[in-house]
Amino acid sequence: MSNSNQINGLKAAAAFSLSEDIISVDAFGSGHINDTYRVTTKNTHGKSFLLQRINHYIFQNVDGLMLNIKHVTDHLKTKIAHLPPEVQESRVLTIIPTKSNDLYHLDDDGNYWRMFILIDDTKSYDVVETTVQASEGGKAFGQFQLQLADLDASQIVEVLPNFHNIQFRLDNLNRAIAADAHNRVKEVSDILDFISSREDRMKTILNLAAQGKLPLRITHNDTKFNNVLLDQNDQAQCVIDLDTVMPGYVAYDFGDAIRTIINPVEEDEKDLSKIVLNIPLYAAYAEGYLNEAKEFLTDVEVHSLLEGVFLLPYMQGVRFLTDYLEGDHYFKTKYNDHNLVRTKTQFKLVEEMERQEEELKSAISSVLQD
């Protein structure tokens, strides 16, 4: 961490309501959106705190975002009110308010900061390695949705409007094609055919929703595996990274988790022959998820899960391709056709899923038959 970041972090940490003196502020974790620091204080219980500079270029409504997190964590805590306070603090994020009792601190440079209790003795994995981890991840997100099923959705702000709306993403792609600002459309005609031949299927969730057949719920919307903390025995402890909690459809959370779990290689793997679906990890996640979620999911929602599995890599491919056509200004790139390579890995995933659709389907139905 650079010196100036360290000083900014120290200054920001001082704005929060901590009962003990701060000893150090150090870079922490491996998130890609916010800047995250561990704050160590001079106390006898060894409790640490987590300071984050919120990425307010992505999240422009910081008030709405922090109120969302407050509503959600307060609600989740009511579900575990019977547990001792220190256990509650390890299962649900706890916001530390500022000295003036606000949910965030705005510094003189226009940076937004917030603080949580740091949940110690936990691990967050960037890549899932075992079926136990996959199943625990599914369980954590299933429980998260279950416990939020009775929270009044009208209290929750849509911090990133249309985030998982495929019509919105396709409209953006079509604008990029029409503009063709970098003269790249001619290279991608096969991919554009791939996209248009699947458009109808990919709108299934939107259509079901428009017909009133899918309930709008509170969903996480960033169900990457490193957003679940596991304990030292790989048991799920806590769902974190609540910035994107918004009204949504359960299939989006399921599909986005599967998108990374089922893919054995990096998002920018060039050798597409290496993209072979990891069905055991998929089945383990589905089992962990459904064992929690079957309690509240409707039949139509259960049916929608598989559509989410297809949709999320498709939508991610559409987003990478749009950025490629627009000249790579959203996703960070390391070489000229980086976004095109990423596009192809996502669509290869979709193709493999189509080939193994029966296996994907039966992993879901076998859990529900038990």
Residues that bind ligand ADP (CB under 6 A): 28-34, 36, 50, 93, 116, 118-119, 122, 124, 226-227, 229, 240-241, 243
Minimum CB separation of residue 282 from Mg ion in Å reads 21
Q: Is 252 exposed, middle or buried (0-12, 13-18, 19+ CB in 10 A)?
A: buried
**332-361: contacts with Mg ion (CB under 5 A):** none
CB of 90 to ligand ADP, least distance (A): 9
State the minimum distance, in angstroms, from the CB of residue 240 to Mg ion: 7
In the complex, least distance from residue 76 CB atom to ligand ADP, rounded to whole angstroms: 13
What count of other Cβ atoms lies within 10 Å of the Cβ of residue 115?
25
**Shortest gap between Cβ of 101 and Mg ion (angstroms)?**
25
Stretch that binds Mg ion, among 25-33, 91-99, 106-114, 330-338 (CB under 5 A): 25-33
Burial class (CB in 10 A: 0-12, 13-18, 19+), 32: exposed
Q: Return the exposure string of 177-199: e unless at least 16 CB atoms fall within 10 Å of the residue's CB, then b.
A: eeeeeeebeeebeebeebbeebe
User: Taking Cα atoms as reference points, which of 221, 244, 227 lies closest to residue 123?
Assistant: 227
What Å distances lie between residue 310 and 46, 89, 269, 326, CA to CA?
A: 45, 36, 19, 25
Applying CB under 5 A, which of residues 89, 241, 307, 323 lies at the interface with Mg ion? 241
Round to whole Å and give the CA distance between 162 and 86.
37
Task: Provide, rounded to whole angstroms, the least separation between the CB of residue 146 and ligand ADP.
Answer: 21
| Shorter beta-carbon distance to Mg ion: residue 229 or 262 | 229
Closest approach of ligand ADP to the CB of residue 164, in Å: 17
160 binds Mg ion (CB under 5 A): no
Residue with tokens 């893919």: 263
Query: How is residue 66 written in tokens?
Result: 């922090």
Q: Which 3 state secondary structure label does DSSP give 123? A: strand
Q: Which amino acid is at 75?
A: H
Among 14, 22, 33, 117, binds Mg ion (CB under 5 A): 33
What is the torsion angle, in degrees rounded to the nearest 10, for the CA atoms of residue 292, residue 295, residue 301 and residue 302? 70
Choose which of 5, 6, 28, 31 interacts with Mg ion (CB under 5 A): 31
Nearer to ligand ADP (CB atom), residue 220 or residue 344: 220
| Binding partner at 149 among ligand ADP, Mg ion, none, C-beta below 5 to 8 Å by kind | none
Indicate the SS3 state at residue 45: coil
Toward ligand ADP, which CB reaches closer, 134 or 321? 134
Strand 48-54 and strand 35-41: the pairing is antiparallel
* Shortest-Cβ-distance residue relative to ligand ADP: 31
The smaller minimum CB distance to ligand ADP, of residues 34 and 135, is found at 34
- Comparison of 138 and 352: residue with beta carbon closer to Mg ion: 138
- Check if the beta carbon of residue 313 is closer than 8 Å to that of residue 259: yes
Tokens of 358: 């029966």
Residues 253-272 contacting Mg ion, CB under 5 A: none
Give the shortest CB-118-to-ligand ADP separation in angstroms. 4
Q: Give the chain's length.
A: 370
Residue closer to ligand ADP by CB (options 50, 321) is: 50
Closest to ligand ADP by CB, 93 vs 173, is 93
Q: Is 227 in the site for Mg ion (CB under 5 A)?
A: yes
Residue 209 or residue 238: which is nearer to ligand ADP going by CB?
238
29 binds, among Mg ion, ligand ADP, none (CB under 5 to 8 A by kind): ligand ADP
Distance of alpha carbon 297 from alpha carbon 369, whole angstroms: 15
Note whether 367 and 215 are within 8 A (CB).
no
Smallest separation (angstroms) from ligand ADP to the CB of 93: 6
With CB under 5 to 8 Å by kind, the binding choice for 8 among ligand ADP, Mg ion, none is none
Binding site for Mg ion (CB under 5 A): 31, 33, 227, 241, 243
